[in-house]
Amino acid sequence: MSKYLQVFKISLEQEFAYRLNFIMWRIRNVLQILVVFFLWDSIFYFQGRELFGYDRDKILTYVFGLIFVKAFVLSARAQDVAGEIGRGEILNSLLKPLNYFKYWLTRDISSKSLNLFFAVIEFGFLFIILKPPFFFQTNPLIIFLFFLCILIAMFIFYLIVFLVNAIPFWAPEMSWGGHFLVTIILVEFLSGSLFPLDILPQNIQNILNLTPFPYLIYFPLQVYLGKIEGLLILKGIIISVVWVLVLWFVMNWIWKKGLKAYQAYGR
Amino acid sequence: MEDKKETKNFHLNFSAFFEKSEIIFRRLGYYFRIWFMMSKNSFLMFLNQKSVFVIFLTGKILRFLFYIFFLIFLVKGADGLAGYNTNQAIFFFLTFMVVDTTAQFLYRDVYRFRQLIVTGDFDLVLVKPVNALFRVLMGGADVADLMTLPPLYLATIYVGNLLSPTPAHVFLYLFLIIVGLMISTAFHIIVLSFGIITFEIDHSIMIYRDISNMGRFPIDIYKEPLKSALTYFVPIGIMVTLPAKALMGLVNFQSVIVAFLLSILLTIASTRFWKFALSKYSSASS
């Protein structure tokens, strides 16, 4: 346990070693939130307007909720694994007395803690500047379920990232390409980080709900806003847990195959 | 006598002008040949890794389609966006894509500049008989963007046509697109210059991309002071919103003049900043 604690500390210090890098990354997050905020603010400009099942308070809470949920779920260091495999550097890590998955999970948690800390500051800053109406959830059970959904979402994202990381075992030149397609394009649109998915037609929503993507951002925020209740929450949690299990088994299977096929180019 | 002298002077001036023009055209031809060669090499390198090429092309097409569908659902459901209808909102997005993708196609090498700086390989660029700024700005055109440009231009023409523009509006649109590309060029030069001074280019270029992404939607959706900042300070509004508005006949002559002057000013300022940055280059890692 203590070695993972050390990994956590070193990883945190490493983030601070490249302070400008980190600050720039957070500035990028703020800019992305600003675009989404103003887009929805202009749509709900007229007071009392209800659209796609949202009023102004709820849609702007959704936007502000994105700051937190994205910091919890989408901030991760594990994307670097694909590069390690592509360059052959993973061999160094595999020789060490560490569980490779736990090692990267610890690094991810360190990245999430730091991002979350800054997300709180950004939230306060944007809240003071933009003065949005905000929907405060007061039901403790809903708040508990919201955090449970976030925890599951973190595991789903971690497993998706590791699945994409496995591509360079067979195609080392694809270190970045896989992440571009899956963890940037698909996650950005299908997770609800640009817009709440319920603006899409119902049949598209039904298909999307069977994929793991909506359970990353959209579903936890729907739970927080109280737009999903009772059995529907349970159904969503069950589907997302099933996705964790499926992705876990697939990821293990792919990684075993990948390590056997790996030729450690560049070493 | 006087007449003869004047005629001789005119003849001399004319031949000097002709000679200068010839030198400029020869120089332009020289740089065009270099650009063509560098682009060909860049395409061959990219096409050599077909799977990477397919993945990036798929990603770009998916992102484009997702945005279009999102806009259609959003604007139809909300019955307009900042006073614009669905076709107009899509046209704003397409205009943004035209400027953004054309700039990315031409200036893809900016994204690879950090490697040259941190390894010291930029020294090798500086000693070559080619303008260093030209080399690092336009040294590697992107084939994936080249593939997406023709359908993008066709889609823009098709949606633009639905807005029933007059020939004058079309001319203004094309003129302002060139102005937008000049502003985009200036920003890429500024990012390169920052790269020399701070060694930090990856995030600078991505921050520029994030700011320019604000132009995916008409800047009318933003509130003051952000709206003014996006018009005059980081003129994304002039770069992408203004051309689209020009085609819709919503732009006055003064705005066009201001946009043109601003693009000239930014181009001059960015090249001066580049020269300043070059004077700070330490060749640290070489």
Which of B194, B214, B236 should be substituted to probe chain A, the one whose Cβ sees the most A Cβ atoms within 10 Å? B214
| A126 found inside a domain | yes
B221-267: pLDDT as tens digits? 888 788 888 887 778 888 989 999 999 999 888 999 999 999 999 99
Q: How far is B214 from chain A (nearest CA, A)?
A: 6
**Beta-carbon separation of B52 and A31 below 8 A:** no
Report if residue A190 sits inside a domain.
yes
Q: Which of A116, A181, A39, A250 is nearest to B59 (CA)?
A: A181
Residue A267 placed within a domain: no
With a cut of 70, say whether residue A70 has pLDDT above it. yes
CB contact (8 A) between residue A35 and residue B216: yes
Residue B131's SS3 state is: coil
Question: In a mutagenesis test of the A interface, which of B52, B194, B207 is the best target, namely the one with the most A β-carbons within 10 Å?
Answer: B52
H-state helical runs in chain B: 2-48, 50-78, 86-106, 113-119, 122-126, 132-138, 143-162, 167-198, 202-213, 226-228, 236, 242-247, 253-280
Contact A189 B70 (CB under 8 A): yes
Cβ contact (<8 Å) for B55 and A173?
Answer: no
A14-23 pLDDT tens trace = 877 767 777 8
Structure tokens at B174: 């094309």
Indicate the residue of B56, B200, B210 with minimum beta-carbon distance to A20. B200
Q: Is residue A178 part of a domain?
A: yes
Average pLDDT, chain A: 88
A141, with CB counted inside 10 A (0-12, 13-18, 19+), is exposed
According to DSSP, the residues that pair with B81 across neighbouring strands are B84
CB B67 within 8 A of CB B89: no
- A1 token code pair: 């346990």
CA distance B65 to chain A (A): 11
Q: Does B111 touch chain A (CB under 8 A)?
A: no
Cα gap A179→A175, rounded to integer Å:
7
Contact B207 A28 (CB under 8 A): yes
- pTM of the predicted structure, to 2 decimals: 0.85
Q: Which two tokens stand for residue A123?
A: 């939230």
Which residues face B84 on adjacent strands?
B81
Domain boundaries, chain B: 1-48, 64-280
Report how far residue A76's alpha carbon sits from residue A98's, in angstroms, rounded to the nearest whole number. 19
Closest-CA residue of chain A to B218? A39
What percentage of chain B reaches a pLDDT higher than 70?
Answer: 94
pLDDT band at B160 (very low <50, low <70, confident <90, very high): very high
CA distance B206 to A75: 17
Between residues 193 and 232 of chain B, which touch chain A (CB distance below 8 Å)?
Answer: 198, 200, 203-204, 206-207, 210-211, 213-214, 216-217, 220-223, 226
* A51: helix, strand or coil: strand
Torsions phi, psi for B49 (to 5 deg): -110, 75
Amino acid at B181: L
pLDDT mean over A182-201: 89
Number of domains in chain A: 1
Residue A266 is assigned to a structural domain of this protein: no
Note the pLDDT of residue A28.
83
pLDDT tens digits for range A30-69: 888 888 888 888 888 776 778 888 888 888 899 889 988 9
CB nearest to A38's CB, from B62, B207, B223: B223
- Note the pLDDT of residue B269: 95
The domain containing residue A138 runs over which residues? 2-261
Q: Which DSSP category does B223 fall into?
A: P
Phi, psi (deg, nearest 5) at residue B84: -105, 145
Position A134 in a domain: yes
B201 burial (CB, 10 Å; 0-12 / 13-18 / 19+) is: buried
User: Contact, A178 vs A97, CB < 8 A?
Assistant: no
> Could you report the per-residue pLDDT of A139-157, keeping only the tens digit for each?
999 999 999 999 999 999 9
Q: What is the mean pLDDT of residues B58-62?
A: 91
**How close does chain B come to A153, measured CA to CA in Å?**
23
- C-alpha B33/C-alpha B21 separation (Å) is 18
| Whether B217 contacts B203, CB under 8 Å | no
In Å, what is the CA distance from B61 to each residue of A195, B67, B148, B238?
19, 10, 8, 26
CA of A84, closest CA in chain B: separation in Å? 17
User: Is A156 among the domain residues?
Assistant: yes
Residues sharing a CB contact under 8 Å with residue B286, sequence separation 6 or more, in sequence order:
B119, B120, B121, B123
Fill in the amino acid letter for B40. K
Spatial separation of the C-alpha atoms in residues A229 and A242, rounded to whole Å: 20
Pick B4 or A102 by higher pLDDT. A102
Note the pLDDT of residue A162. Answer: 92
Collapsed DSSP state (helix, strand, coil) of residue A191:
coil
- Average pLDDT, stretch B75-94? 89
- From chain B, the residues in CB contact with A51 under 8 A are 77-78
Identify whether the C-beta of residue A54 lies closer than 8 Å to the C-beta of residue A135. Answer: no
The answer to whether B218 touches B89, Cβ cutoff 8 Å, is yes
E strand or H helix at A184, and its extent? none
Cβ(B38)–Cβ(B140) below 8 Å? yes
Shortest Cα distance from B24 to chain A (angstroms)?
41
Q: Which of A32, A38, A51 shows the shortest C-beta gap to B222?
A: A38
3-state secondary structure of B84: strand
Cβ–Cβ below 8 Å for A199 and B58: no
B170: confidence class by pLDDT, cuts 50, 70, 90: very high
C-alpha neighbours within 13 Å on the C-beta side of residue B52: 18
Whole-number pLDDT of residue B276: 94
